[in-house]
Amino acid sequence: MSNLDNLVQKILDDAKYQADMIMEESKKVNEEIINAKVKEANERKAKILERAATEASLLKERVISNAELQVRNEKLKAKQEVVERVFSLAKERLKNIDEEKYISYLKNTLKGLNLKGTETLIVPEKMKAKVKALELGLKVSDKETIDSGFLLKDEGVLLNHTFDALVDFLREELEVDVAMSLFKELE
């Protein structure tokens, strides 16, 4: 029986050895699979973090850009309001021009016009008496008045030389110069 026991023992030892080898191989395969999955997970994690960092950077840039744009728009709006105020003040000052300057403006402007003498002159109420006394060869309207400057009316034609119209006409041309003059120190 001892040969049989030896044979059985040898079969058991071989079986145990093969089982150990299979277990060893299984462990290696498991470790390789786990390591591969960990590596894959780490790579995905790195890609996700990289994408998140890129998106965060883009979002940050977009927020900063939008904030800068908003600040620029607010500054532009404030500058436009100041320029608007300057033109409004200019109109207001021209409405309150003194008689001497008004008469000088009226005479110089009328000299440059080709008048027939049939025109009616419409002037501010406070200047009517002074303009009538000048005897310019034009009828001064008693019924109609304006705030500033003057109007010439003749046979359905109206020449507008009011200060408001003059400022509005020259505004586009002057706006850039006014803005540069006002804001040159801020730049």
Same domain as 2, residue 52: yes
Q: Are 95 and 163 in contact (CB under 8 A)?
A: yes
Instruction: Give the pLDDT of residue 65.
Output: 93
Q: What is the pLDDT of residue 1?
A: 58
> Taking the CB of residue 111, how many other CB atoms lie within 10 A of it?
8
> Looking at the structure, do residues 23 and 74 belong to the same domain, yes or no?
yes
The two structure tokens encoding residue 164: 């408001």
**pTM above 0.85?**
no
Domain enclosing residue 128, as ranges: 98-183
Whether 127 and 102 have beta carbons less than 8 Å apart is answered as yes
Q: Chunked in runs of 10, what are the mean pLDDT values of the chain (187 residues)?
A: 79 86 90 90 92 92 93 89 87 89 88 81 88 84 88 86 89 82 69
Distance CA 171, CA 65 (A): 33
Q: Does one domain contain both 103 and 175?
A: yes
132/88 same-domain check: no
CA distance 149 to 131: 12
Q: Identify whether residues 178 and 102 lie together within a single domain.
A: yes
Nearest to 62 by CA among 144, 54, 131, 127: 54
Number of domains in the chain: 2
Whether 49 and 3 map to the same domain: the answer is: yes
**Residue that terminates a domain, selected from 67, 95, 123:** 95
90 shares a domain with 140: no
Asked whether residue 146 falls in the same domain as residue 71, the answer is: no
What pLDDT shows up at residue 67? Answer: 92
Last residue of a domain, one of 76, 95, 114: 95
From 57, 78, 95, the end of a domain falls on: 95
CATH number of residue 175's parent domain = 3.30.2320.30
Q: 45 and 23, same structural domain?
A: yes
DSSP class of 96 = T
In this structure, the answer to whether residues 6 and 82 fall within a common structural domain is yes
Which residues, at least 6 apart from 150, have a Cβ–Cβ distance to it below 8 Å? 106, 109, 121, 122, 123, 161, 162
Distance CA 137, CA 116 (A): 10
Quote the tokens at residue 167: 């400022």
Q: Does 91 share its domain with 106?
A: no
| 89/106 same-domain check | no
Q: Which residue in this structure is represented by tokens 């395969």?
A: 29
